[in-house]
Amino acid sequence: MPVILVLVDDPAARDPLVETLRRLFPWARLVAVRADVAVDVALSLIGSERATVVVASLSAAERLCRDGAPPGVTVVALTRDMSPDTLLRAEALGIAGALRAPASAEPLAAVIGPFLGAPPPRDH
């Protein structure tokens, strides 16, 4: 089962994001924590939860990539600043995608969906 780890500080932003992700990817497990947790704690969560995708504020995504996100973990950043400089810096750090915050369902599905694979077949 794929795991999406959400690292966003503000509950007013985090809660709707988690609900949207849950609706888009019901076959994935969602784990949401505050982005201001220490990077080693976040990295530990990524490893212990076997995260497939981490959706984080830009600053948290940058810290994770600088401090060694495990291979095979896709990091997606949420940012209000979509300037070319910001996007180039994110790409240089290994961030797989950047979405304008707050991200709506369509961009979330387009960026994260390919990393989660298809939903498992349903039993009828």
Task: Say how many domains are in the chain.
Answer: 1
- Out of 15-24, 27-36, 62-71, give the one with best mean pLDDT: 15-24
Higher pLDDT, 74 or 44: 74
pLDDT of residue 9: 86
Q: At what angle do helices 58-66 and 84-93 cross, to 10 degrees?
A: 30
pTM equals 0.87
10, part of any domain: yes
Alpha helices in 4-104 (DSSP H): 11-24, 39-49, 58-66, 84-93
The string of pLDDT tens digits covering residues 57-98 is: 999 899 889 888 888 889 999 999 999 999 999 999 999 999
123, part of any domain: no
55, part of any domain: yes
Q: Mean pLDDT across the chain, nearest whole number?
A: 87
120, part of any domain: no
Where residue 80 sits, what CATH number does that domain have? 3.40.50.2300
86, part of any domain: yes
Which domain, by its residues, includes 57? 3-115
59, part of any domain: yes
20, part of any domain: yes
| Number of helices and strands in the chain (H, E) | 5, 5
121, part of any domain: no
Q: Is the pLDDT of residue 38 over 60?
A: no
